[in-house]
Chains A and B, each alone.
Chain A
Amino acid sequence: GEDVEQSLFLSVREGDSSVINCTYTDSSSTYLYWYKQEPGAGLQLLTYIFSNMDMKQDQRLTVLLNKKDKHLSLRIADTQTGDSAIYFCAEGDNAGNMLTFGGGTRLMVKP
C-alpha cells in the first residue's frame, strides 16, 4: 500500500530557513500536500502541488517535488516562532479518495 515518510523533528533558529522533507511510494499520486497542525487545532492546508509540477512558491513557502525519487520538500523562509507546529505531508489521487499522511514533523523555532 501507499507509504509516506517524514522525519519526526526539526529545530531551527528564528530567521533561518526550515526544510522539511517527505518521501512517498505511490507513483500514481496526483496531488501532494503540506498541512500544518498547531497545538489543540485541526489540520490546516498550507499548500499543495500537482504531480506534474517541479516547484511551487507561495510567499515564504517553497515546495519542491522530485517525482523520479518520490521526494517532496517544504522550505519555509525566514522562519518565525509562529511557524512552530507539526507539519504533515500527504498524498492523494484525482478521484477524491482518501489522503495518505506521513507521521508529521514537529518544527521547533528557537528565538
Chain B
Amino acid sequence: DADVTQTPRNRITKTGKRIMLECSQTKGHDRMYWYRQDPGLGLRLIYYSFDVKDINKGEISDGYSVSRQAQAKFSLSLESAIPNQTALYFCATRSTSITEAFFGQGTRLTVV
C-alpha cells in the first residue's frame, strides 16, 4: 500500500461545482502539503499544515480551502471550480526530523 494516498485519481467536474480532494498518509508525519502542477511551472504550493491545528496559505491559495481532519488526513476543496483550476494536484508529507518529502500519486482534475 502507498504511504501517501490521494483520492480520487482522476476527476472531471463542471464549472461552479464544489469538489474535495482527499489525502491520507500512513507515515506518521506531522507536516502535510497540497501542491498544484501545471506544465512548465513545476509544483506550486497551495496550502500546508504543520499539525492538526495549524493551517497556512501557500503561494496560490485563492479559490481553495483545506481541512486537516486528523494527523493522517488533509483534504483540499474547491468551493466553486473554474476551468483554470484544471491541473494535476499532489499531496505531500514530511517530518521535521527528516529531509525527504513523500508525494502521493496525484489527482488529475479537469474542470469543464
- Interface membership of A76, Cβ < 8 A: no
Task: Decide: A42 and B90 in contact? CB cutoff 8 A.
Answer: yes
Picked from A44, A90, A96, A97, the residue with its CB within 8 Å of the CB of B95 is A96
CB 8 Å contact bits of B73-112 with A (1 = contact, 0 = none): 0000000000000000010101110011111111000000
**Distance to closest chain B CB from A56 (angstroms):** 12
Across-interface contacts of B45 in A (CB, < 8 A) = 98-100
Q: Which residue of B lies closest to A35 (CB)?
A: B103
Picked from A44, A98, A103, the residue with its CB within 8 Å of the CB of B41 is A103
Task: Decide: B42 and A4 in contact? CB cutoff 8 A.
Answer: yes
Across-interface contacts of A90 in B (CB, < 8 A) = 43
**Distance to closest chain B CB from A45 (angstroms):** 5
What count of chain B residues pass the 8 Å CB interface test? 27
Task: Decide: B40 and A45 in contact? CB cutoff 8 A.
Answer: no
Contacts A42-B90, A98-B58 given; indicate if A48 touches B41 (C-beta within 8 A). Answer: no
Q: Mostly helix, strand, loop or mixed at chain B's interface?
A: strand
Across-interface contacts of A99 in B (CB, < 8 A) = 43, 45, 92, 101
- Interface membership of A8, Cβ < 8 A: yes
Task: Decide: A42 and B42 in contact? CB cutoff 8 A.
Answer: no
Which A residues, 68 to 105, have Cβ-Cβ distances below 8 Å to chain B?
A: 88, 90, 92, 95-104
Task: Decide: A101 and B100 in contact? CB cutoff 8 A.
Answer: no
- Interface membership of A55, Cβ < 8 A: no
Give B residues with C-beta under 8 Å from A.
Answer: 4, 31, 33, 35, 40-45, 48, 50, 58-59, 90, 92, 94-96, 99-106
